[in-house]
A and B are shown apart, each in its own frame.
Chain A
Amino acid sequence: METSAHPVTPLKEVADIINEAGGEILKLCYQCGTCTAVCPWNRVRDFIVRRIMHRGQLGLIDFEGEDIWLCATCNSCVKRCPRGVEIVDVMRALRRVVTEMGIARIPDSLRLTIKNISATGNPLGEAPDKRADWAKDLDVKPYSEGTEILYFPCCIPEYDTSVRRMARAAVNILKKAGVDFGIPGSRVNCCGESVRKAGDEKVFERLARSNISVFAEMGVKKVVTSSPHCYHTFKNEYPGLGGDFEAIHLSQYLLELIRENRLNFTREINKKVAYHDPCYLGRYNDIYEEPRQVLESIPGLELVELPDCRENSLCCGGGGGRIWMETKSGERFSDMRVEQALAAGADVLAVACPYCMLNFDDSVTTMDKGNFIEIRSISELVSQAI
């Protein structure tokens, strides 16, 4: 953000608009800089979160600049803020001001994604009736009334062939455990989490209301999600809009199945596995143990911890709509994370989120480390061992 050499007058009107868009809590900020110092961006470039808070208080936000689009909503700063400022909500409010009032340009790639989600119900702009194509050969039924569980893979594994493997592995496990489940058909939309973080509250609400009514119509009582983002949204944001169903993340559900002896491990995986805590499972929902316990139940598997783990987990960089935006080489958190996993001597970097998987796959390819480390979802590892 550029600083002006000229006297600057606070813009109360802009400050009011930010407050109305949901950023009011930033009033409490006392400028200690904790947010800046914990923000992963500052490991690769300057991103003075504290200054954005101060500028927000005065209404002096640079809406044209790139800063307000940087936040990956990893929640590290919120967890630490001594004044309880919901910095992610503030960032969302700033983006809303742009998205809803059109006072500046939304970054191109993000604008396209929002348009796709708005038109087709998925960020890739694919046809809604192809949503279940990923499982065509798996003999899985679409969800129908009376089925116990809706397995919700997230749009990314459904439409992006490169990470489809995490959803297919999940199906294999659920089938072997004899779970009565179905998958989403063409009437289901993206959960809307990322579009909300990108500042488009209206599109989010439309998607959420549509999903809620479709789920209600189909009699969905329990949803198992692959993505922590869908999980977080279903669990914490849908109830406020009338959602009335139980949401559980796949890693939690797998642990339930293991505890009920419904999974029979027959093969060993003799590998060192590092688990990457996704932001929306860990910091947003305090789920740290279940994924680790699932991995530790796999025979032969040795779990190693990364230096930044649990509540201090290093974000992959894919939250808050960043997954749709280009991050320059040298500034990718996922590259640092892969380096950490390699330094920890891991053969496998285990993930529990489709965004993480996309980013880490990318990093391994661009860093040419494919011979040294594999990116595997927890579901793949479990599926391989049963």
Chain B
Amino acid sequence: MIVARDYVFMCSEPGQEIIGKDIRDLGLNRVVVAACSPIMHESTFRSTCQKAGLNPYLIEIANIREQCSWVTENKQMATEKAKALLNAAVKRVYYHQPLETRKIPFNPNTLIVGGGIAGIRAALEIADSGHKVYLVERSPSIGGHMMQLDKTFPTLDCSACILTPRMTEAGSHPHIELMSYSEVEEVSGYIGNFKIRIRKKARYVNGDRCNGCGLCQEKCPSKVDSDFEAGMGKRKAIYTPFPQAVPNIPVIDADHCTYFLKGSCRLCEEVCEANAIDFGQEDEIIEVEAGSIILATGYGVFDPAPIRQYGYKRLDNVITSLEFERLVNSAGPTGGNIVLKDGSAPRSVAVIHCVGSRDRNYHDYCSRVCCMYALKYAHLIKEKTGAEVYQYYIDMRCFGKGCEEFYERIAGEGVSFIRGKVSEVTDRSLNDEEKGRLVVVAEDTLLGSVIRVPVDMVILCVAMEPQQDAEAVARLFKISRSADGFFLERHPKLDPVATNSEGIFIAGCCQSPKDIPDTVAQSSAAAARILSLISKGAVEIEADIASIDDKLCSGCGVCGSLCPYSATSLDEEKKVYKVNEALCKGCGTCVAACPVSAITGRHFTTEQIMAEIEGLLI
């Protein structure tokens, strides 16, 4: 030990300079920093060493914050633990060896999964810079949830009107290869060099021939509830989800097509002048390569039926927010007329906030957009029907740009705000006024009394939730999820677009509920991260990976069968196994498994680990 120093902000420039100066002046050949987690600042201190002429692997970090002082209130014990950790680091660093990182080429192609506004925005950013994007969307058209929305808060501009130009642009962009009605099946490889298998589902329509005339949809005899219309309207068995679909090529829904079900019909084929119908079409498997991936898989919508007291699917005219979006949309099933099930206009409407959000029985989190779209509904209902609107809220959260102003504007339009969570929507009336109507029961917490309001329509502002298959997608791309089920970002503040898997980024509501501006911002951020990787042209491979000693290896292959990244393979000539350094992640599985101890985990050698343990046990 040559020198020990104490400084408040060692990671600051002056702090780093202390280390650099000591390395230069005192000729240090090992450094130990006892501070925060290596996740935070290992790279900072490694480059400090490198700048001062010391190999960056000759430093060791003792984490005395996250795993020590932050996890206990017992100062005495924390101090003892800090001493032990520091001692272990000192013992370990003695055995550190200088290691070199290497660079491997970075494939400039990008895979984007999900064709909602998040995926579209990111795809355009990257493609506009001249780089290739594969945009994979599982439904027949890109557009996502934004396409289903009517107006957008707080500016009330038409959602479809601002989205469709971007969709068209993405659909015809020379650098975007759009794969709609397709799903990713397998992902292998690593940052810079991913290989992706994509299943392009059979459309039963030849996309090269189809001219999008729509005659087939007109003539098809089979009617099905439309997902796009949130079940409020119908579509045909051969369909595009909506008229502005991109690509404008229909698909045949084999589960509802008369020909597929009964063996005869083929009316679409008869009327198609372009001869585009192809009942023999099969799923296609496509393999692509990409250097980086953006997951923009969006959100699911909470089903409020389990909240029995709200009467969804039990009582007429209790609808979800997404259903209302379609009801109020001029291109929707009622042509934008807000009507009850019997076709009449409502005289009063209750809008219930936080349905499935901020509720431990369903989702703990706030869905962040409901307060604002609920205000939008009040405006649209007032404008179109003049009905009374009652907003049942717990807290109004109007934090976005222009949002508080919108709240004030809607309040000025004469909307009743009732602060209280609705306990029940019931058709059991207590008096004539309530008879035949929906009665909304809640405590008006500002009045301090329980009130019953008879209304004609109830809109449930349902939570945004992780997609049903979020778990499977996370597993497929080897990323983590947070406790709420959304994809986990690498750092909640400083790295909300990256994941713990290098080269895989997230954007939009697959990370957490958010509004359109935030989604677009995150998408552009993800694109920027990828563009910076592309412009570097290469990725640095960490040096702490496995290496096999030729002289000891017997070629048994245990390492090859266990490696999760298929990073070891047999050298046919020498009959020994070798490590593909680009694939190895340094997990250590093979090191532990090798029966003849021929494999060393660089930077995690047996003597380094034993020294560290010895240091801990002082």
Q: What is A's interface to B at a CB cutoff of 8 Å? A: 30-34, 36-38, 42, 46, 48, 50-51, 80-84, 307, 312
Contact = CB atoms under 8 A, between A and B. Distances in A.
Contacts of A84: 360
A48 B449 contact: yes
A307 B428 contact: yes
A245 B449 CA distance: 45
B394 A32 contact: yes
B462 interface: no
Contact of A312 (B309, B361, B443): B309
Contacts of B309: 80, 312
A263 B360 CA distance: 43
Nearest to B442: A37
A82 B360 contact: yes
B448 A34 contact: no
Contacts of B361: 80, 82
B428 A33 contact: no
Interface string B351-378: 0001000111100000000000000000
A32 B448 contact: no
Given A30-B394, A33-B442, A37-B443, A80 B448 contact: no
A42 B450 contact: yes
B423 A80 contact: yes
A36 B450 contact: yes
B360 A50 contact: no
Nearest to B430: A43
Interface in B431-457: 441-445, 448-450
B422 interface: yes
Interface string B404-432: 00000000000000011111100010000
Interface of B: 308-309, 354, 358-361, 394-395, 419-424, 428, 441-445, 448-450
A328 B308 CA distance: 32
A37 B448 contact: no
A46 B449 contact: yes
Contacts of B445: 31-33, 36, 50
A94 to B, nearest CB: 19
Contacts of A48: 443, 448-449
Please classify the interface of chain B as helix (H, G, I), strand (E, B), loop, or mixed, using the class held by over half of its residues: mixed
Residue of B358, B395, B450 with most partner-chain A CB within 10 A: B450
B558 to A, nearest CB: 49
Nearest to A307: B428
Contact of A37 (B354, B395, B420): B420
Nearest to B393: A32
B449 A82 contact: no
Contact of A83 (B360, B423, B441, B442): B360
21 contacts: A31-B445, A32-B421, A32-B445, A33-B419, A33-B442, A34-B420, A34-B421, A34-B423, A34-B443, A36-B443, A36-B445, A37-B423, A37-B442, A38-B423, A38-B424, A50-B445, A80-B361, A80-B423, A82-B354, A84-B360, A312-B308
Nearest to B444: A33
Contacts of A307: 428
Minimum-distance CB pairs A-B, first 3: A33-B443, A37-B423, A82-B359
A82 B420 CA distance: 12
Contacts of A36: 443, 445, 450
Given A42-B450, A48-B449, A50-B443, A37 B422 contact: yes
A37 B424 contact: yes
A34 to B, nearest CB: 5
Contacts of B442: 33, 37
A51 B444 CA distance: 12
A38 B442 CA distance: 8
A294 B445 CA distance: 42
A86 to B, nearest CB: 12
Contacts of A31: 394, 445
Contacts of B428: 307
A33 B354 CA distance: 13
A32 B445 CA distance: 7
A80 B422 CA distance: 11
Contacts of B420: 32-34, 37
A27 B449 CA distance: 22
A31 B395 CA distance: 10
A351 B51 CA distance: 82
Given A37-B420, A46-B450, 6 more contacts: A30-B394, A37-B422, A37-B424, A37-B450, A48-B449, A312-B308
Contacts of A82: 354, 358-361, 421
Contacts of B424: 37-38
